[in-house]
Amino acid sequence: MQFPVKHVLACALLAFGATVAHAQTVIKFSHVVAQDTPKGKAAEFFAKKAEELTGGKVKVEVHANSALYKDKEEMEALQLGAVQMLAPSLAKFGPLGVKEFEVFDLPFIFDNRDDLHKVTTGPVGQKLLDKLQKRGITGLAYWDNGFKVFSSNKPIHSVADYKGQKYRIQSSKVLEAEIRALGGIPQVIAFGETYQALQTGVVDATENPPSNFYTQKMHEVQKHVSMTNHGYLGYAVIVNKKFWDGLDATVRGQLEEAMKQATAYANQIAQDENDQSLEAVKKSGKTTIYTPTAEERNALKKALVPVHKQMESRIGKDVIQDVYQATG
């Protein structure tokens, strides 16, 4: 039997159309923390919303716990397009050449979450995200984690207690200066290697919010936590710009909506997640939790605030001033 050419062409076009209609865009979303953390949960939330709002046109594959890439590698993977989405902590943008984000690492720059949100939800936060464009990256949102606490195998009460210890830090020059201001020795180590570094004594101490501390089992290898809340740790959700700009405008709009909802969710659960993790650390009985006295915390603040001035030339005096002004 012979089909008229017109009919064959029509069938071929139909088949092609069907394939196109069913082509699914995959977003690989890589991150380094456990699933059971503010970032881990928000990433899962985004994945679900994105699929729902795009009617299945987009599938988000979340790879948690450094399963795909560690800190440094994931930034490279994003720029190369091997993954499309990340949510690195704001302390990890320096190696990318965007040093201004280190303003978030300045010790005692935010008194509380409200102060922080004045920056992340306002023009100062947006201006910082815009700086990523020149690196081929689009910044979509800020997600909260929380305020960091110091941990060690020795009790850390007075400023003198910090001296001479080796600290695992994230790849931020501000954090390096912070540790040096305390007389400590900073060492940049990937998040995924931190537990082992603490376990084997490569470093003695570290800093992180309780949610990361507990879910990485650091309480098994750190005997003391001091509730210093001396600095903030949060995230910028970022995408490969070329990938993002290449999306169908409607789909991109739907993903923006999914991100808006995921951001609200992330920021709503962050404090609770940290409170629960702190309780779990207490319950484990493996780590003592110390709350510094007002004098001890003031002494710590006095030792650390000079880091603001010291880091002016790196971060930009204007950026630091913008944050001071936004937080009033």
Q: Is 187 helix (H, G, I), strand (E, B) or coil?
A: strand
Verify binding: residue 222, ligand LMR, rule CB under 6 A. Answer: no
Min separation Cβ 189 and ligand LMR, Å: 8
Verify binding: residue 229, ligand LMR, rule CB under 6 A. Answer: no
Min separation Cβ 317 and ligand LMR, Å: 26
> Which position among 27, 32, 128, 156 is part of the footprint of ligand LMR (CB under 6 A)?
32
Which range, of 22-30, 31-39, 282-290, 296-304, touches ligand LMR by CB under 6 A?
31-39
Residues near 186 by beta carbon (within 8 Å), at least 6 away in sequence: 166, 167, 169, 175, 176, 178, 179, 180
65 DSSP 8-state letter: T
Q: Is 153 helix (H, G, I), strand (E, B) or coil?
A: coil
Verify binding: residue 66, ligand LMR, rule CB under 6 A. Answer: no
Q: Is 170 helix (H, G, I), strand (E, B) or coil?
A: coil
* Residue 54 or 172 having the CB closest to ligand LMR: 172
**Number of CB atoms found within 10 A of residue 321's CB:** 12
Map residues 241-280 to x or -, x wherever contact with ligand LMR holds by CB under 6 A: ----------------------------------------
Verify binding: residue 145, ligand LMR, rule CB under 6 A. Answer: yes
Q: 216 vs 106, 208, 277, CA distance in Å?
A: 24, 11, 11
**Number of CB atoms found within 10 A of residue 160's CB:** 12
Min separation Cβ 233 and ligand LMR, Å: 6
Q: Which of residues 77-96 bind ligand LMR (CB under 6 A)?
A: 89
Min separation Cβ 216 and ligand LMR, Å: 9
> Which position among 54, 152, 208, 229 is part of the footprint of ligand LMR (CB under 6 A)?
208
Min separation Cβ 242 and ligand LMR, Å: 24
140 DSSP 8-state letter: E
Sheet hosting strand 58-63, strand order edge to edge: 58-63, 25-30, 85-86, 232-240, 137-147
Residue 73 · residue 191 · CB < 8 Å: no
Min separation Cβ 71 and ligand LMR, Å: 6
> Which position among 27, 33, 205, 307 is part of the footprint of ligand LMR (CB under 6 A)?
33
* Residue 237 or 320 having the CB closest to ligand LMR: 237
* Residue 151 or 208 having the CB closest to ligand LMR: 208
Residue 96 · residue 75 · CB < 8 Å: yes
* Residue 212 or 277 having the CB closest to ligand LMR: 212
Q: Is 276 helix (H, G, I), strand (E, B) or coil?
A: helix
118 DSSP 8-state letter: H
* Residue 33 or 128 having the CB closest to ligand LMR: 33
What DSSP string describes 74-95?
A: HHHHHHHTSSSEE--BGGG-GG
Verify binding: residue 191, ligand LMR, rule CB under 6 A. Answer: yes
DSSP lists the bridge partners of residue 58 as 25
Report CA 217 to chain centroid distance, whole Å: 19
Q: How many residues bind ligand LMR (CB under 6 A)?
A: 10
In the complex, the residues that contact ligand LMR under the rule CB under 6 A are: 32-33, 39, 89, 145, 170, 191, 208, 212, 233
